[in-house]
């Protein structure tokens, strides 16, 4: 941990803080052009200074579009929650007393691409080629990031979809959560890098794939 802190302090690179339309923050080398879909917030400095700024200002990790959906559907959610037992402290949003795997195995959930240091359609394409994609389920307390193993990293897909940052891709693969092997499928919008994900307990080793849809 101390070595990581020293590395940040000794990093001579000047960084800037960026924000996207979903209210998500990231750092980016100050001399490089802003990635598509991101804009500067006016903060520049060392990596430590920029990360500290993000910690102070990124108070809600949930994407703006999801927060708006939650606000618009709050009345309906309140009605659905009537009669549910109170959570003992370990439950998840609207699902008292469920463990994490059971919660995520129950239907579709909102997800977002969680590649580092910054997510983009191009970065996602390279992650698919490498056979490992990082996705985050954002409707759990503190969000849940998973590394999805895609065994068929040579899968053919339309590269223009990634270049144009449009269309929807379908990802299928395997992952592990709380020592349980899971099969995961996700539909991701290349324009927003958000979508829906589904998990289930793995019955047999699964051959992953990545496909692009309209």
CATH 3.90.820.10 domain span(s) along the chain: 2-57
Say which CATH architecture domain 92-213 belongs to. Beta Barrel (2.40)
- Say if residue 205 is preceded by a cis peptide, omega within 30 of 0: no
Distances (CA, A) of 118 to 21, 35, 173, 183: 14, 9, 22, 25
Longest dimension (CA), the chain: 57
Residue 173: CB atoms within 10 A of its CB come to 26
* CB contact set of 50 (below 8 Å; sequence gap of 6+): 15, 16, 17, 27, 43, 44
* CB contact set of 161 (below 8 Å; sequence gap of 6+): 167, 169, 190, 212
3-class secondary structure, 44: strand
CATH 2.40.250.10 domain span(s) along the chain: 92-213
In sequence order, the β-bridge partners of residue 95 are 92
pLDDT, residue 29, reads 94
pLDDT, residue 89, reads 35
Question: How far is residue 20's CA from residue 192's CA, in Å, rounded to a whole number?
Answer: 10
Q: What pLDDT digit, counting tens, does each position of 131-164 carry?
A: 899 999 998 888 899 999 986 644 456 677 888 8
Residue 106: CB atoms within 10 A of its CB come to 13
Domain 2-57, what fold?
Rubredoxin-like (3.90.820)
pLDDT, residue 133, reads 93
Question: How far is residue 154's CA from residue 56's CA, in Å, rounded to a whole number?
Answer: 41
Q: What pLDDT digit, counting tens, does each position of 78-131 carry?
A: 544 444 334 333 344 444 446 889 889 988 899 999 988 777 888 888 888 888
């Amino acid at each position: 941990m101390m070595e990581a802190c020293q590395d940040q302090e000794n990093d001579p690179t000047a960084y800037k803080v960026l924000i996207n339309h979903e209210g998500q923050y990231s750092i980016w080398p100050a001399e490089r052009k802003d990635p598509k879909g991101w804009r500067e917030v006016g903060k520049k400095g060392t990596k430590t200074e920029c990360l500290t700024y993000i910690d102070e200002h990124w108070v809600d990790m949930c994407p703006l579009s999801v927060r708006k959906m939650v606000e618009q559907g709050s009345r309906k959610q309140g009605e659905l929650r009537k009669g549910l037992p109170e959570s003992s402290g370990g439950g998840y949003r609207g699902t008292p007393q469920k463990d994490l795997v059971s919660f995520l195995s129950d239907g579709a959930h909102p997800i977002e691409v969680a590649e580092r240091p910054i997510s983009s359609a191009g970065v996602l394409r390279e992650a698919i080629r490498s056979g490992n994609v990082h996705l985050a389920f954002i409707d759990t307390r503190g969000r849940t990031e998973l590394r999805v193993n895609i065994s068929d990293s040579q899968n053919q897909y339309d590269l223009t979809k990634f270049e144009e940052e449009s269309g929807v891709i379908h990802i299928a693969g395997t992952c592990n959560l709380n020592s349980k092997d899971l099969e995961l499928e996700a539909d991701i919008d290349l324009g927003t890098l958000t979508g829906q994900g589904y998990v289930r307990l793995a019955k047999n080793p699964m051959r992953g794939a990545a496909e692009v849809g309209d």
